[in-house]
Amino acid sequence: MGTMIDGRWETEANHALTENGRYIRKDSQFRNWVTADGASGFPAEAGRYHLYVSYQCPWAHRALLYRALKGLQGAIGVSIAVPNDRRMSWEFRDDGTGTTEDAAEGFAYLYEAYAAADPIYSGIASVPVLWDRARRTIVNNESSEIIRMLNSAFDAFATNKQDFYPPDLRADIDAMNEKIYAGLNNGVYRCGFAAVQAAYEEGCRQVFATLDALEAHLAGARYLVGGRITEADWRLFITLVRFDAVYHSLFRCSLRTLESYPALSAYMRDLYQQPGVAETVRIDHIVRGYFSIPRANPSRIVPLPPQDFASRLSQPHGRETMQS
Ligand SMILES: N[C@@H](CCC(=O)N[C@@H](CS)C(=O)NCC(=O)O)C(=O)O
């Protein structure tokens, strides 16, 4: 898939992904913050910041979701990558399926943004990227931080000022996030990218132990924390919505389908039906992108996307009357 070494894209090079057969995710390297008051050097402004994303990627999906939920489409632009094998890193081109050229900077490939931000950058060129058009640099490439910025720093331009990380629920949200990250968001990757049997089995059991616990919790509560939709729900949603189409099959999360969990699948429909969410879910890009990852699928034959996906997610969820 290639990677960046000293500011150049190297098609044949790869950074180590596993240790003792276990998949290890590296920390993101650009960690600046946009703030409402600009004290960080990156003041929130309309038209200044831009998101580089792919509909395939669950981490990028977090950023796209927040842009839609907060009504920031008018203030923050977006470039949508082609969900291909990333031989040259993520590519920006209109392939007729909803991908785009890069209207902000004219980058053909995402590595160009990383090289512009740091001429000696080494590491993966990942989405999402929050890009500053004024300083021509990457502000941040860590989705968990990008969504916190979109949640509050841009409220002067947001059509929805709802706070998904309210102060009174922060400790509970953080605790829930940790479980969901280890057991699911990253847990499915520990299954899919394990290099030895024992690492895969350990990852797979953790994924389903986490799903089982969430099923029990969501049978008695409409949302994860505090009886309202919070960041924890959105961070769970992006993994659930991919589960049956790619994690169950390609990543060998094989014990059960998500659809066989009644509470979790109704909960997923509930979130999918919130305003603005459905447009951010492109199951065709998700399937094509994951099955184009060479180390996960050497033949790169892409299955046809699941039938009636959007209409099944639009069915009644029956959770409106739940007490908490
Ligand atoms: N920690 C990052 C992870 C982002 C990430 O892993 N993105 C993947 C796509 S799902 C990527 O762009 N990978 C590029 C590559 O592996 O070359 C975040 O949450 O923002």
- Stretch 107-130: mean pLDDT, rounded? 97
pLDDT reading at 53 higher than 80: yes
The residues near 181 (Cβ < 8 Å, ≥ 6 apart) are: 235
Give me ligand 1 centre to Cα 195, in Å: 19
Is 80 exceeded by the pLDDT of residue 15? no
Checking if the pLDDT of 323 tops 90, the result is: no
Instruction: Judge if pTM exceeds 0.95.
Output: yes
- Whether 142 has a binding-site annotation, put simply, is yes
Single out the catalytic residue among 23, 55, 57, 247. Answer: 57
Of the chain, the end-to-end C-alpha distance in Å amounts to 45
Neighbour-count burial of 22, counting CB atoms closer than 10 A to its CB (0-12 exposed, 13-18 middle, 19+ buried): middle
Residue nearest to atom 19 of ligand 1 (CA): 143
pLDDT over 90 (residue 14)? no
253 belongs to the catalytic site: no
Q: What are phi and psi of 61, to 5 degrees?
A: -60, -35
Question: Running DSSP on this structure, what letter comes out for residue 125?
Answer: -
The residues spanned by each domain of the chain are 3-152, 167-274
Give the integer Cα–Cα distance in Å for 324 and 322: 6
Instruction: For 193-209, write each residue's pLDDT tens digit.
Output: 999 999 999 999 999 99
CATH code for residues 167-274: 1.20.1050.10
Q: What is the mean pLDDT of residues 105-131?
A: 97
* Section 168-177 average pLDDT: 98
Three-class SS string for 61-123? HHHHHHHHHCCCCCCCEEEECECCCCECECECCCCCCCCCCCCCCCCCECHHHHHHHCCCCCE
Separation of CA 45 and ligand 1 centre (Å):
26
Q: Which fold has domain 3-152?
A: Glutaredoxin (3.40.30)
Catalytic-role residue among 23, 52, 109, 189: 189
